[in-house]
Structures are given as C-alpha cells and as structure tokens.
Amino acid sequence: MHAFEYAAPASVADAAAALANEDAKVLAGGQTLLPTMKQRLAAPSVLVDLRKIDGLSGISREGDALVIGAMTRHADVAASKVVQDAIPGLAALAALIGDPAVRHRGTIGGSLANNDPAADYPAAALALGATIVTNKREIAAGDFFKGLFETALEDGEIITKVKFPLPEKSAYEKFRNPASRYAMVGVFVAKTKAGVRVAVTGAGSSGVFRHAAMEAALAGNFSPAAIAGVKTDASGLLSDLHGDADYRAHLVGVMARRAVEAAA
Amino acid sequence: MSATGLGASVKRKEDIRFITGKGRYVDDINRPGQAHAYFLRSPHAHATIDKIDASAALASPGVAAVFTGQDIADDKLGGLICGWMIHSKDGSPMKAGAHPVLAQGKVRYVGDHVAVVIADTLSQARDAAEKIVVDYGVLPAVADPAKAVGGPNIHDAAPDNTVYNWHLGDKAATDAAFASAAHVTKLDLVNNRLIPNPMEPRAAVGDYDSGTDTITLYTTSQNPHVARLVLSAFIGLAPEHKFRVIAPDVGGGFGSKIFIYAEETVCAWAARKIDRPVKWTSDRTEAFLSDAHGRDHVTHAEVALDAAGKVTGLRVHTIANMGAYLSTFASSVPTYLYATLLSGQYNIPAIYAEVDAVYTTTAPVDAYRGAGRPEASFVVERLIEMAARETGRDPAEFRRQNFITQFPHQTPVIMAYDIGNFAGALDKALEHADYKGLPARKAASAAKGKLRGAGFSAFIEACGIAPSAAVGSLGAGVGLWESAEVRVNPIGTVEILTGSHSHGQSHETTFAQLVSERLGISIDNVSIVHGDTDKVQMGMGTYGSRSGAVGMSAISKALDKIEAKAKKVAGHVLEAAESDIEFKDGKFTVKGTDKAIDFASVALQAYVAHKFNGQELEPGLKESAFWDPTNFTFPAGVHICEVEIDPDTGIVTVERYTAVDDFGKLINPMVVHGQVHGGIAQGIGQALMEGAKYDEDGQLVTASYMDYTMPRADSLPSFTVDTIETACPSNPLGIKGCGEAGAIASPPAVINAITDALGHEDIAMPATPVAVWRAAQKRPRLAAE
Ligand SMILES: Cc1cc2nc3c(=O)[nH]c(=O)nc-3n(C[C@H](O)[C@H](O)[C@H](O)COP(=O)(O)OP(=O)(O)OC[C@H]3O[C@@H](n4cnc5c(N)ncnc54)[C@H](O)[C@@H]3O)c2cc1C
C-alpha cells in the first residue's frame, strides 16, 4: 500500500470539500478499495471516510418506497425485517454477498459506486427502478450504470441513499462464481407498477443490463413458462475461466426462470 | 486402554494454544534491528535478463541492500538442488538445469526471483523494487507438459526440455498380456495441477550473530534438519555447527514446506551479508506464484482383462510437468512415488509404466499431499471402474474379483504389500454407503430432473517412508529413518525430542499418548520438542505420512531403552536383581513381593544417584534412538462417493461420502478422522474445483482466490468415516499412516460418481459447473426423457 492521508469528516459537506483534493477517494466499507490499495492498483492521496457522518446509514419505509442509507452494511440489509417485508428479494440478495466478514463491512453505496460487473446490488437497483440519491442530485438506476466500474457519478459526488419503489413481486437468483462467489450470472426479476423488469448482472461484458426479450415475454404472463423459450444472445456476454459466453447465456435463462418461479 | 494412552481419542493439547491465538509462527518472530526483504519477481514466463539497473532502488529511502544473481554468484553460493537421482531408460542420469537462488541471465517462470531489495520497512523495499529497471528479452513460453518437447528450450542442460524418460516394469510381459486380452479399456486423463495453499504462507527470518559467526534461520519448514543439511552441505551457506534452523509453529504444509526455496536461502545469506536480521513473509499472490505446485500429469493408460474378468495387464504412459526447475524432491514424485503404486489393490501379473519428465515455463512442481500416489490411484481406479462398466460388471464385485487376498504380495512394480484386508473394507463401505439403496436414490433424483451416480475408489498407498537402503538404491540422496530422544527429568516429567515436525498432524498429543501408555504418566507431564536443530540433533521431518510409522517407532525404541535403564535403577533402589523387576502401569515392582516404586521416584533416583556406587550404574535417564523402517507401510481402503448433478447448471453436489480405511492400529481415532476429513476435502477440491491454469504466455491465470477455487465447508457433506484394522507388521506400533489417504482416495471416487451419473466417461478434473454442464449435454438420453 502506498502512503495516503486519512480524513473522517462529520458531514457530507465536509466530505465533499475533502474530496476536492486531487486523487481523493471516498472510503465506505473498504471491502473493494482496501484490497485494491494493498495490491497497489489504487493509490489515492486522501481517503475520505464516511463512517463518522450521521444519517448515512439506516433503513426505512417512506410511502411506496424503501430507503436505504448509502453506508448501510450488507448484513444489516439482509437481517432487516423492514427489507424482508417490503422487498424480500433484496434482503435475500444482500445475504448472498461475499462472506460474513464482507457483509459486516461492505455497504450498498460502495457496491453501487463501484459497479463491479459481477456485483449483486446493481441487478436489484436496475430491476426495481431504484433512484440513487447523491449530495448533488437524484439519478435513476437506468441512467446510473455506465459499463464496467463506470457510473454517472462525477468527481467528488457522494451517494447518500438509495430509494427502491416497492414492487408487487420480486426475486433474485444468483449463480455464484465457484472461486470468488461473486455473481457469475445473477438475475433480478421485478413485477412493478411500471411493468416487469429483468436485470442481469455478472454476465454482461459491459456490466449490468436489462433483458428486453424476457421483460416482453413476462409482461403478459409472469410465469417461468413464458420465458422458457426466450434465448439470450451470447455475443455481449463475458467469457472467462469459469464459463464462456454460451454457458452464461444459458445460465441467464435458468436463473431467470428460477427467479420468476421464486417471485410468482 | 488408559484415558490418554494408545487408541484413545484424546483432545489435542496444541489446540488451546492455536485457537486462542497464542501460536508462534515465523511471522510472529521479530528480531531487533530487523530489515525486510522484498523479492522482485519476473513478470515474464521466459526471458533473458539483459541488464539490471538497481541504482535508483539503492538510493531509495530506507534501503539497506539490493542483491541480484550476480551477488550470489560472486559469493560462490551453490544453486538449489534436487535430492533424488533418476536415470533414464538408456541409463543416462536425469538432465537437471541449474537452479540459481536468484536468477542468473534468464528467468523461467512468472514469479522467478530476479532480485531482492532489503529495507527498513517492507513498504520501502517494495517502493524501491519498483525502481529497479530490468531489460528482458522475452522468449516464448510453454506451460502444457504435453507441448514441452519441441517447445522453446528452457535449460541448455536439458535438450528438448526432457529431464528423463524413465520406465518401470516388464514391457514384454505386459505387451503379451495385452496381445491375448479379451478386453482392453483405454483412458486418456489429466491429473490437474494444484496449488497447495496452506493457511500460513511461507516465511523466513535470517539472523546473524557476528560474535559467534552463527546464522539462525527461522523458517516455515516441515523438515528443518533437511533444510540445514541442504543449505549447509550443498548450497554452502555455513557449516552445520554454525547454523541453526528453527521451524516453530507451522500452519500447514501439505508438502509445499518440505522444499528448500530461494527466499529462506536469501534471508539467511543476506542477514550475514548486511549483518542485520532479514525477514520475509510471502503474501498470498507470491504463494500462488512461487510455492511448489502439485500433480500436473498427462497420461494414457490401458488395462487388459481376460474373458472371465481377471485383470491381466496394465500399461501407462505419463508426461509429468516438473515446472521451470527441479524442486527438492520433484524427480521422485512421478517415478518411485507413482509408478510403484500402479498395481493398486489388484493382483495384476504384468505392469509397464513409462514416465517422461519435462521442463515447462511454470512454477516448480513437487510433492503435494499424497505425492505421486494420488496420481497412481486416479489412473488405476478410473481404469478399473471403466473396465467394469464396459464389460457389464458391477464395479464393486469386479474389484473384489481382482483383489489381492494373499499377503505378503510382491507386485510387479517393486512394492511388496505386507498385509491388508481389501474385501473387508469393501464390505463395510458398501454397508455404510447403503449401496443397495442406490437405484432407488437414482430414481428419486431423476424424478426431480437430477442425475445421481456413485463411484468407488479402492486405493492403496505406500507411506511411512522409507527404508533407507531401499530408497538409496532407487536414487534418494538421503536415508529416510527418524530419530528420537527421550529425556526424563528428575521429577518424572518427560521431554520427547523428535526429528518429525508437526504442522497440523497433532504430534504434541499423539506422541504424548505413546509416552503416557508406555510410562504410565499423564500426557500433561510430557512435552514434545521439535523443529529446532539446536535441540534435536538430526531428523528427516514430516511428509509421506511418516511421523507415526517412522517417527513414533523411533520414540518407541528410545522408550524401550528408557524402560531398560529405569529397571536397572529400580533394581538398585529396591535392592533386587534387575531381572526380578517388573514394570506395569507406571510402577516398578519386585516380582512376587509388594516392594514397588513409581516411575517419578525412579527418575529422581536416577539423578540424585545417591544409591549408585561409582561406575556400576550411570546416573541420568535419557536415551536416544534412530529407527530405520524395513518396509513401506500400505494404508488402503475403499471410498464410495455419491453425487447429484443439476444438468441445468452443471453443479455437482456431493450427497454422500463414505470412507473405510485400514491404517493399522490407531493412536488417536479422532485425530485420524480429522486427517481423513481434511484429505477428502482436498481430494474433492481437486476433483471438482481446483486447477492451476497458465495462459499461452505463461501467465498464471489462477493467481488468487478470485479465480482459484478452494473447497469450502459448505461444499462438502458430512462424511462417514470408519476404519478396519490389520496391524502393520514392520513397526512396533502396528501403524501405517493416515495423513494423505483422503487426498489419495477421493478424486477417482468423485469422478467415478460423476461419470456414473452422466452415463459417459468424458469429464476431466476439475469437474467445474461449466464442464459438467457441457458433459451433461452429451449424455445418453434417460429412459424417462
Ligand atoms: C471477499 C469478498 C467477496 C465479495 N463478494 C461479493 C459478492 O458476492 N457480491 C458483491 O456484490 N460484492 C462482493 N464483494 C464486494 C463488496 O460487496 C464490497 O463491499 C463492495 O463492492 C464495495 O463496498 P464498500 O462499502 O466496501 O466500498 P469501498 O471498498 O469502501 O469503496 C468502493 C468504491 O466505491 C466508492 N464509494 C464508496 N462509497 C461511496 C459513496 N457513498 N459515494 C460515492 N462513492 C463511494 C469508493 O471511493 C471506492 O471507489 C466482495 C468483496 C470481498 C472482499
């Protein structure tokens, strides 16, 4: 690890000010950032730790939405009665992230900001039509994810919370990478007032994506049978040691059917 | 049986220390004024080193020294050695390329050692290493052993990258058996390359005392005396009396800590060079890149049967990957530890094996839990299972038909099995596994759209290595005896000094149980001293499941001497003839009287010596012994694995796993079960998950846990583990060894179960989800579909 400065501001405004330093970076749970720094793949000049800022973590129901603070840890989402009642698929998703140590440190804000193509939360955010709230604006999930490790966040912009509109039905099915246990294929299906949405993580070579053909097929008939014949184009999918694009394309179908079955 | 004697499942004495974080590992050791070493490693699989410019690194803050291969050469330090000479078919000695401690002129795998930077802190050393400029002339790489011959030449000393073309057995007799066979089963297989991954990575601290001109090396070693011997006698670091090697608590080895590596050599050497302690602890990436890997065979094998189903012959051709350099025992693994086990548990009249060992531009490959024997059992047990299936025979009964039933049994491949009861293990395993219920369970799985199958592995291995004369005649550079010293203190407590080394084997408990049994004292009054060349004079260390059969036999022999001496003392004290003294349950009694003295009192008398007069009896109670075995030991057993496959995803679930093993007499059944559990977990890891992969450029693709899949607790079912017992006749304790059996037995059991479920044989290890999914597409249609 290279040397760096450490700041623990008490407010979002102070954090934003600290982030004005060149190469400053937000530190949330550190579960992605710190390993990258240890491998010397990242060398921020200042780490701006959000932990001391009040009000950045917590879970609440606000009308038709579930609101989760950016610093809320995966373990808290998984264990939350509020989440389990409102969006059980989301609680289940959080319980599938990493291992207990990771879940007790890693945060939803960190996961979304990082936008790892194999991360789980992006699938939920996209399928549920979440709104990512920052210190500057509100960004619709559909506009937020911009490819591998890329998001709509500008330099120094801080995610403060995420708003999930409550779906009628939803579920997440994850095929874990055998080694890392990140998503090799994760499919989040949601039947919402705005229609059926199917988001796929782990598989796409430019990150999380919506599966239009499945959404269309499920719109009229929300059942596994409706998508049994829907094919997934392998051309935009990742190939690696653990599975080529054809296998991933096949798994998208299997996970989607299982998710619909679990949700229905 | 006493509560802490032989055969009792005594809880491990060492666990309290380990689970409360009080273990003392090499990384816990810090010496005053210590500096930290960082190794600059090759980013290329194969390249010439045209120039190294370390000037900026030397000027970097905190840097004490930068050394390259040139400095090692200038100091006339020898290269790392391979201690087992193998001769090719044509009688020529193996062709070993030089293995410099730090690269000289060329690098040969990603992770090879180019330079070492020593600085006040590790971070400074790392910063400085980034400033070293190396001009490489990149050369083509070759990682696949099957492509090594004809590939880019790696060592001048080994034309065509061939280390040896070795063979064993009677070719003519084997060919004749095949010529007259009623059926021949053929198999091409790969024994996948594994990365050992002990929980504790390797580490070393070199410490030099300029006053006495003595080097102390703390190192993560399974055999500190062998390390000292090699570093002293071959590498020329320091003479043995000026060189102490300490292997304190060591957190797992699985073979990878047997070998003598560049890093500890450099730490010890550099400590003297800069007159400052030098420390290095491997990080996980370095462990993936530079710990000696295991397995990596490409094999074609055939078995011949007569019309009645009797196995008449077996022939095998294996290409064994040695990696870029010959590691310490690398040459012995695919030869005498492999081909000598190709008879399995079967009466096979003719066997012929050819092994070509090749260099590739990959990390060195050497012994890894089982070392050669897992590779042999995979060949034999896959072939036998397939032969049964191809000829329509039940795999269990086909095995039984061919089992060796008369002992001793001389195989055609050197080994002479001393004792066993193969059918006994099979019967018990069939019962535990509810083999009769398999068809019903298969039907139940099929009804859920799943595929179920069961696979056998009737493994045998040779451990308790090894008779020194025998291994010497086969090319070993050292004898494989073990030493023990028993020191009885005046208050009757006992210290056992052993040349064995515990790094997960539970010696502090099991060795103490032997003493408790023999001397009738509590295990709390026994301590086991190991891992320090200043305390234990000499030893051969722990690997090859040898610490019980060989290490404890040495202790037993020393205890015989203690008992004899103690009887003399007791005789003196009780004023009776030595021949009238009986020793039982920790008490010496005069035959036919009630005159008695306990062990602790005898110990005290031995040291106060008030009742000895002059030269008649020596004071003290301390004895030592060396035990050299007369044969290998032959643990064997039958494992049955049952899997269920989800054909939609390719995920394989191990549903049941049954192991019935014959380890001879058990010292501590709980410890034995633990060893078996760990071994099975590693074997299931090999079969389903683990596999080191290098790409075309020789880059290690699986260099972290993000890509290298380890077995986890939740990937495994509860195992059913049981034993049968035929006492080993070649050692006083009747024990055979259990440390590697699980890893030797399980891979073929798992793959045989998968192929049973699939209905065809076309699946390689590791049977990952994608591979199984593809294989499941190819399966013959089920009747129900
Ligand atoms: C062993 C292991 C296994 C894992 N397995 C999984 C898995 O199965 N599925 C999965 O989805 N993830 C997995 N992860 C990743 C984990 O979920 C991380 O916690 C997450 O990706 C990052 O969250 P964090 O809070 O740790 O963020 P950090 O590591 O602290 O930060 C990550 C990045 O986000 C930025 N950032 C953090 N918070 C904010 C914010 N509020 N606003 C703006 N930018 C911010 C940081 O500057 C940094 O660039 C795993 C991690 C590990 C170590």
On whether the CB atoms of residues A120 and A126 are closer than 8 A, the answer is no
How far apart (Å, rounded) are the C-alpha atoms in residues B623 and B260? 31
- For A2, the closest chain B residue by CA position comes to B123
Question: pLDDT tens for residues A55-101?
Answer: 999 999 999 999 999 999 999 999 999 999 999 999 999 999 999 99
Does ipTM come in above 0.85?
A: yes
- Rg of chain A taking only CA atoms, in angstroms: 18
Cis-peptide into B466, omega within 30 deg: yes
How far apart (Å, rounded) are the C-alpha atoms in residues B237 and B42? 25
CA B518 to chain CA centroid, Å, is 29
State whether the beta carbon of A109 lies less than 6 angstroms from ligand 1: yes
Q: Are residues B408 and B506 in the same domain?
A: no
Domain end residue (candidates: B579, B595, B627): B627
Q: Which residue among A3, A179, A251 sits closest to B708, beta carbon to beta carbon? A: A179
pLDDT confidence of residue B783: 41
Q: Is residue B538 part of a domain?
A: yes
Backbone φ and ψ of B371, nearest 5°:
40, 90
Q: Are residues B454 and B556 in the same domain?
A: no
State whether the beta carbon of A126 lies less than 6 angstroms from ligand 1: no
Which residue has 């579920």 as its token pair? A171
How far apart (Å, rounded) are the C-alpha atoms in residues B386 and B71? 56
Which residue out of A104, A114, A138, A158 has the highest number of ligand 1 atoms within 8 Å of its CB and is therefore the one to mutate? A114
How far apart (Å, rounded) are the C-alpha atoms in residues B265 and B290? 14
Q: Are residues B619 and B637 in the same domain?
A: no
State whether the beta carbon of A32 lies less than 6 angstroms from ligand 1: yes
B689 with A178: Cβ contact below 8 A: yes
Q: Which CATH number fits domain A169-263: 2.30.30.140, 3.30.70.890, 3.30.390.50, 3.40.50.620?
A: 3.30.390.50
Neighbouring C-beta atoms of residue B716, cutoff 10 Å: 17
Q: Is residue B173 part of a domain?
A: no
Q: Do A59-165 and A169-263 agree at the fold level?
A: no
Q: Is residue B489 part of a domain?
A: yes
Domain end residue (candidates: B627, B657, B686): B627
Q: Are residues B525 and B636 in the same domain?
A: no
What's the number of domains chain B is made of? 3
Residue A2 has pLDDT above 90, yes or no: no
Residue A66's contacts (CB-CB under 8 Å, 6 or more residues apart) are: A59, A60, A82, A83, A86, A87, A90, A163, A164, A166
- For A255, the closest chain B residue by CA position comes to B649
CA B29 to chain CA centroid, Å, is 26
- Domain ranges for chain A, please list them: 5-49, 59-165, 169-263
Q: Is residue B411 part of a domain?
A: yes
On whether the CB atoms of residues A6 and A47 are closer than 8 A, the answer is yes
State whether the beta carbon of A186 lies less than 6 angstroms from ligand 1: no
Is the CB of B699 inside 8 Å of chain A's CB atoms? no
Which residue has 């939609």 as its token pair? B648
Which residue has 């390797």 as its token pair? B202
Is the CB of A251 inside 8 Å of chain B's CB atoms? yes
How far apart (Å, rounded) are the C-alpha atoms in residues B633 and B420? 10
CATH number at residue B269: 3.90.1170.50
Domain end residue (candidates: B281, B310, B343): B281
Q: Are residues B726 and B753 in the same domain?
A: yes
pLDDT confidence of residue B612: 83
How far apart (Å, rounded) are the C-alpha atoms in residues B731 and B615? 35
Is the CB of B490 inside 8 Å of chain A's CB atoms? no
pLDDT confidence of residue B785: 39
Q: Are residues B67 and B135 in the same domain?
A: yes
The alpha carbon of A112 and the centre of ligand 1 are apart by a number of angstroms equal to: 8
Is the CB of B524 inside 8 Å of chain A's CB atoms? no
Average pLDDT of chain A is 97
pLDDT confidence of residue B784: 41
CATH for A59-165 is 3.30.465.10
A178 with B701: Cβ contact below 8 A: no
Q: Are residues B490 and B454 in the same domain?
A: no
Question: pLDDT tens for residues A132-189?
Answer: 999 999 999 999 999 999 999 999 999 999 999 999 999 999 999 999 999 999 999 9
Q: Are residues B500 and B611 in the same domain?
A: yes
Positions in chain B short of pLDDT 50: 782-785
Q: Which residue among A2, A179, A254 sits closest to B706, beta carbon to beta carbon? A: A179
Q: Are residues B417 and B331 in the same domain?
A: yes
Distance from CA of B124 to the nearest CA of A (A): 10
A243 with B701: Cβ contact below 8 A: no
pLDDT confidence of residue B496: 98
Question: pLDDT tens for residues B342-396?
Answer: 999 999 999 999 999 999 999 999 999 999 999 999 999 999 999 999 999 999 9
A5 secondary structure, DSSP code? E
Q: Are residues B714 and B730 in the same domain?
A: yes
Q: Are residues B313 and B453 in the same domain?
A: yes
Domain A5-49 belongs to what topology?
3.30.43
Chain B residues within 8 A of A175 when measuring between CB atoms: 649, 769
- For A239, the closest chain B residue by CA position comes to B770
Distance from CA of B654 to the nearest CA of A (A): 15
Q: Are residues B235 and B335 in the same domain?
A: no
Tokens of A122: 């992006």
On whether the CB atoms of residues B186 and B299 are closer than 8 A, the answer is no
pLDDT confidence of residue B319: 98
Range of the domain at B267: 18-23+33-139+202-281
Backbone φ and ψ of A171, nearest 5°:
-160, 160
Is the pTM higher than 0.95? The answer reads yes
Q: What residue's CA is closest to ligand 1, atom 3?
A: A98
How far apart (Å, rounded) are the C-alpha atoms in residues A223 and A229? 12
Give the A:B interface size as CB pairs under 8 Å. Answer: 41
